[in-house]
Amino acid sequence: MVGGSDVPTLVDGKSIKDESKLNILLPLELLECNKLDNSYVELKYKVIK
């Protein structure tokens, strides 16, 4: 998940504005996906280091 304070996502913080900063991102492994009411989903991830 990539986001920042000026990107419309659930992730807050400083936005990556330079391609050279992409190396700070870590891959995620999807562990679980649950269907909730009102078209919502719950996603559970593990950070792969």
- pTM (2 d.p.): 0.59
Q: Any idea where the domains of the chain sit in the sequence?
A: 1-49
Average of per-residue pLDDT across 39-47: 92
Q: Kindly report, residue by residue over 4-42, the tens digit of the pLDDT.
A: 666 666 666 677 778 898 888 889 999 999 999 999 999
Q: Quick one: which of 38, 34, 4, 37 has its CA closest to 18?
A: 4
Distance CA 13, CA 2 (A): 10
pLDDT score for 10? 62
Distance CA 27, CA 9 (A): 17
